[in-house]
Chains A and B, each alone.
Chain A
């Protein structure tokens, strides 16, 4: 997909022709340079047979052509040149100036056409006039090496119509120049000119329940557990920590639920058609202490979590959502997956050591169990 192709300037890429937009289905983990980590990961999951809402990536090439064709490129890098990492005030004002520039300039025509075409394609695919989408920035690895920066970039939920989509894409691009991102690059001697960003445009899940899950227990590193946290509505409340989610710890092998904590979930994030945006609203009183998912949904999530972990070969941190418009199991979607940062980066050291059965037996024989 994506009609407009143009040669990429040699300064950035070697002689390869690129697309402005790419269907998630065309992506895989090798697409990271072009579509950023988040988008590449979605493509990778689709190719592994995981249910991911459809969408497309606005490539780094789009971004590059946008700043080039609109003529703002030189202005941006001039504003950013000569900043000192200690001069917070200058960084703040440079950031505001650059973001302003990106947000307010008119989109270059060929990039604009490509995004328009992509959105129309998605509407058609979903059989909707104006499919609501989530627009998210997707960073390339050379800029932001760890997931600790992940929350830095923007996410715009429930975006409808070409104009809004275009606007959100520009805002995502602008998020490349938050004060924090600017000072990070200065500190690490990374030229602002070499930084690229991609944006993902993905069909919104009309979620009844959503949240996150880990394929390792983050509290004790137990690799035999999937830990699921979920709450009513969109997953934002769980990701941002604005509700105490329900928590389930499930064994991957025997599929036993070893922990089930039902919290009082006061608020949920939902789309408000009158306001035309997502808002946090109070949860109906009788729903607050009700478990946000059925056991069969939990088991489906565990099954998917295991597949994703197996596919990536490491412990994963996964965002999921259960759509109220579909029937189970088509209702269960994965919207994001990335390597879990704490346990998966730990060295795979032996916890028991090289021991024979007899040595282990002797050890146990010597053991006493503290009672008080």
Chain B
């Protein structure tokens, strides 16, 4: 069985990357490449394309998040909480795409040792969750503020300021500060990601445990029903949208504010107009109060520098507010009633509980439910603080370094700094600092770095046109790693379906694809493929959205679309949850939708069965 399947996925060392991507290896650290020294081990593992974290070609500096999670996620499983049969998740780059591998369980004696530690270590977390969460949030906010406070000089001074030399030399100057500060920035990112997983592995484990209990009692229960029972309503990730709703309501209640917000034009124009009236100024005050932290929300997943954040693209929140104000004036409701969501969830739980036949089972169900509900908030709350708020600060800070490099003729554009990985940037900064230190009229190797950045941008662009194999290597016999099961939905069926996707047949010949039936209902309509997050602006009312994955900053989009299809994401993914709330059909985790469906194709989405049919191809 395993051998039959093995033949269907290429060996990672033999897998060919298209020639247009030549030179891709130098973009990433050497430990990210499939290599001879580790060849035997690598060939025996199963590597699959990580479309959750790396749906698009990976800019070198953005790999830092991946690097950080590979270590952090894995260590909490293997060395901290010691989930007995689970090992970590390894990553490799093939071309600019990332493959990941859930490593097979360790030897039995290690499993035994880990089981003892697990028992001893995890229960404290469940018993003290609220207290731990408060502490977590406090330290995390402090870390973000620390990062925000990192100083990047606006310019390299002709001479260091007087007060750094008199009355006594400080002994340490800007040439050093730049390097130290960049290193600090990197370290803080790694620290943030250590925090990210502090309770996440246990949260997912608890979720899977509750899912097991549900499936024992109700063998045919759907993942979406389990998700419905566990999901919280008052979670940080929904706050940005709530703040927008509140600001919209405030605007409608004020004098002349709604009219300005409803007008055409960008945020800048509207802000200028609002500043002219008293109510306008009051409204702006409310906006400013809400924006930190709640508008530090990525326009995408938070994983890529080019996605942008609301706070740096105020046009986005302003355009959402515009449509909310219009809807309010039409007498529509714009908010989801969180109390209602909570009530519905409790009713769902009560109805399943009622169906349980024996008292013992009912008790076990209650125990399982209380356990997962204690901790599940973590899965919903950490996301805003790490991937959105913290990453927004990071990108802004990195761009300050980018600006300095541009001003000193090392790179052409600010964002070119993202074309260099975190080990390379100190080299660029050192070259810059050296040039400054050596004196005036000292040449630097700017042209060399600029050419490198250009070449890499070309490689990433070319990679957009390439659909790599969904998996490499040998499918494993068993998986115990909780993230793999929960987040990537790796199950027997999934692995079997993969080879039928891209690679063997041409995308245009496929007329049906399968995924998770994440939100019920059947609709037909034209497709809008949003492969890059910024393409959101092309979306028209009544289209079916097809995208790699969604996240909460996309929330307002869901009022426009008829249905959603994603490449990645199980029944608890963001798209699944939101579609259920809005009553839109959704098929998630198809693996291939964005590469098979084209803009304008008429597609039928069956959220009951998880099947997407391409009814008519666009011309």
Closest chain-B Cβ to A115's Cβ sits at a distance in Å of 43
Contacts of B204-229 to chain A: CB distance below 8 A: 205-206, 208-209, 212-213, 216-222, 224-225, 228
Q: Would A254 and B5 be within 8 Å (CB), given that A217-B219, A364-B205, A368-B85 are in contact?
A: no
Complex CA gap A341/B493 in Å reads 33
Complex CA gap A257/B608 in Å reads 6
Closest to A354 in B: B360
Whether B221 lies near A362 (C-beta < 8 A) is: no
Closest to B611 in A: A260
Contacts of B572-590 to chain A: CB distance below 8 A: none
Closest to B493 in A: A371
Complex CA gap A369/B212 in Å reads 12
Complex CA gap A252/B479 in Å reads 32
Say what secondary structure dominates the interface of chain A.
loop
Q: Does A352 contact B (CB under 8 A)?
A: yes
Closest to A362 in B: B119
Complex CA gap A233/B316 in Å reads 56
Interface-central residue, B1, B122, B367, B495, by most chain A CB under 10 Å: B367
Closest to A254 in B: B225
Complex CA gap A212/B368 in Å reads 35
Binary per-residue interface labels of chain B (499-536) against chain A in the complex, 1 for a CB within 8 Å, 0 otherwise: 00000000000000000010010000000000000000
Q: Would A355 and B485 be within 8 Å (CB), given that A253-B352, A254-B225 are in contact?
A: no
Interface size class of B (residues with CB under 8 A): 35 or more
Q: Does A339 contact B (CB under 8 A)?
A: no
Closest to A353 in B: B360
Closest chain-A Cβ to B226's Cβ sits at a distance in Å of 10
Whether A352 lies near B213 (C-beta < 8 A) is: yes
Closest chain-B Cβ to A71's Cβ sits at a distance in Å of 53
Q: Does A296 contact B (CB under 8 A)?
A: no
Q: Does B351 contact A (CB under 8 A)?
A: yes
Closest chain-B Cβ to A256's Cβ sits at a distance in Å of 5
Closest to B4 in A: A372
Contacts of B516-566 to chain A: CB distance below 8 A: 517, 520
Whether B478 lies near A253 (C-beta < 8 A) is: no
Q: Does A258 contact B (CB under 8 A)?
A: yes
Binary per-residue interface labels of chain B (42-80) against chain A in the complex, 1 for a CB within 8 Å, 0 otherwise: 000000000000000000000000000000000000000
Q: Does B147 contact A (CB under 8 A)?
A: no
Closest chain-B Cβ to A11's Cβ sits at a distance in Å of 43
Q: Does B440 contact A (CB under 8 A)?
A: no
Contact stretch, chosen from A50-58, A93-101, A156-164, A218-226 = A218-226
Q: Does A345 contact B (CB under 8 A)?
A: no
Q: Does B175 contact A (CB under 8 A)?
A: no
Q: Does A350 contact B (CB under 8 A)?
A: yes
Complex CA gap A121/B219 in Å reads 48
Closest chain-A Cβ to B533's Cβ sits at a distance in Å of 30
For B126, the chain A residues whose CB sits under 8 A away are 357-358, 361
Whether A368 lies near B480 (C-beta < 8 A) is: yes
Of B105, B220, B479, B480, which is within 8 A of A225 by CB? B220
Q: Would A367 and B363 be within 8 Å (CB), given that A217-B220, A252-B355, A257-B608 are in contact?
A: no
Complex CA gap A355/B369 in Å reads 12
Whether B361 lies near A224 (C-beta < 8 A) is: no
Of A251, A253, A361, which is within 8 A of B209 by CB? A361
Whether A254 lies near B348 (C-beta < 8 A) is: yes
Q: Would A364 and B216 be within 8 Å (CB), given that A224-B221, A254-B225, A353-B360 are in contact?
A: no
Of B228, B352, B368, B517, which is within 8 A of A360 by CB? B368
Closest chain-B Cβ to A176's Cβ sits at a distance in Å of 37
Whether A351 lies near B216 (C-beta < 8 A) is: yes
Of A223, A260, A362, A371, which is within 8 A of B477 by CB? A371
Binary per-residue interface labels of chain B (117-142) against chain A in the complex, 1 for a CB within 8 Å, 0 otherwise: 01100110010000000000000000
Of A251, A351, A353, A366, which is within 8 A of B221 by CB? A251
Q: Would A366 and B608 be within 8 Å (CB), given that A349-B358, A371-B476, A372-B2 are in contact?
A: no
Q: Does B115 contact A (CB under 8 A)?
A: yes
Q: Does B84 contact A (CB under 8 A)?
A: yes
Q: Would A369 and B355 be within 8 Å (CB), given that A217-B220, A360-B209 are in contact?
A: no
Interface-central residue, B86, B118, B360, B475, by most chain A CB under 10 Å: B360
Whether B492 lies near A366 (C-beta < 8 A) is: no
For A217, the chain B residues whose CB sits under 8 A away are 219-220
Of A351, A360, A363, A371, which is within 8 A of B478 by CB? A371
Closest to B519 in A: A256
Whether B357 lies near A223 (C-beta < 8 A) is: yes
Of A225, A254, A257, A371, which is within 8 A of B475 by CB? A371
For A368, the chain B residues whose CB sits under 8 A away are 85, 105, 478-480
For A251, the chain B residues whose CB sits under 8 A away are 220-222, 225
Whether B85 lies near A254 (C-beta < 8 A) is: no
For B187, the chain A residues whose CB sits under 8 A away are none
Binary per-residue interface labels of chain B (331-364) against chain A in the complex, 1 for a CB within 8 Å, 0 otherwise: 0000000000000000010011001111111011
Closest chain-B Cβ to A372's Cβ sits at a distance in Å of 5
Contacts of A201-238 to chain B: CB distance below 8 A: 217, 220-225
Closest chain-B Cβ to A189's Cβ sits at a distance in Å of 36
Q: Does B491 contact A (CB under 8 A)?
A: yes
For B371, the chain A residues whose CB sits under 8 A away are 357-358, 360-361
Closest chain-A Cβ to B217's Cβ sits at a distance in Å of 6
Binary per-residue interface labels of chain A (81-110) against chain B in the complex, 1 for a CB within 8 Å, 0 otherwise: 000000000000000000000000000000
Of A348, A358, A367, which is within 8 A of B357 by CB? A348
Q: Would A352 and B217 be within 8 Å (CB), given that A224-B352, A357-B368 are in contact?
A: yes
For B123, the chain A residues whose CB sits under 8 A away are 358
Contacts of B223-271 to chain A: CB distance below 8 A: 224-225, 228
Q: Does B184 contact A (CB under 8 A)?
A: no
Q: Would A366 and B212 be within 8 Å (CB), given that A224-B352, A350-B358, A357-B370 are in contact?
A: no
Complex CA gap A260/B609 in Å reads 7
Contacts of B434-491 to chain A: CB distance below 8 A: 475-480, 485, 490-491
Complex CA gap A353/B364 in Å reads 7
Whether B220 lies near A249 (C-beta < 8 A) is: yes
Closest to A249 in B: B220
Whether B364 lies near A354 (C-beta < 8 A) is: yes
Complex CA gap A166/B458 in Å reads 89
Whether B219 lies near A362 (C-beta < 8 A) is: no
Whether B480 lies near A253 (C-beta < 8 A) is: no
Q: Does A146 contact B (CB under 8 A)?
A: no
Complex CA gap A221/B361 in Å reads 15
For A255, the chain B residues whose CB sits under 8 A away are 520
Whether B364 lies near A370 (C-beta < 8 A) is: no
For A354, the chain B residues whose CB sits under 8 A away are 360, 363-364
Of A253, A257, A355, A365, which is within 8 A of B351 by CB? A253
Q: Does B83 contact A (CB under 8 A)?
A: yes
For A240, the chain B residues whose CB sits under 8 A away are none
For A220, the chain B residues whose CB sits under 8 A away are 219-220
For A252, the chain B residues whose CB sits under 8 A away are 351, 355
Complex CA gap A254/B222 in Å reads 9
Q: Would A253 and B364 be within 8 Å (CB), given that A224-B355, A369-B480 are in contact?
A: no
Complex CA gap A367/B361 in Å reads 20
Q: Would A258 and B217 be within 8 Å (CB), given that A352-B361, A354-B360, A365-B118 are in contact?
A: no
Query: What residues make up the interface of B, taking CB atoms closer than 8 Å to A?
Result: 1-2, 5, 83-86, 105, 111, 115, 118-119, 122-123, 126, 205-206, 208-209, 212-213, 216-222, 224-225, 228, 348, 351-352, 355-361, 363-365, 367-368, 370-371, 475-480, 485, 490-492, 495, 517, 520, 608-609
Query: What residues make up the interface of A, taking CB atoms closer than 8 Å to B?
Result: 217, 220-225, 249, 251-260, 348-358, 360-372
The 7 closest A-B pairs by CB, nearest first: A357-B371, A364-B209, A350-B360, A224-B218, A357-B367, A352-B364, A368-B478
20 contacts between A and B (CB under 8 A): A221-B219, A223-B217, A224-B217, A224-B218, A253-B348, A253-B351, A256-B222, A256-B517, A354-B363, A355-B364, A357-B368, A358-B371, A360-B213, A361-B371, A363-B209, A367-B85, A367-B480, A369-B478, A369-B485, A372-B5
Kindly list 5 other residue pairs between chains A and B, CB separation below 8 angstroms, not including A361-B205, A371-B491.
A217-B219, A224-B217, A224-B352, A365-B209, A371-B477
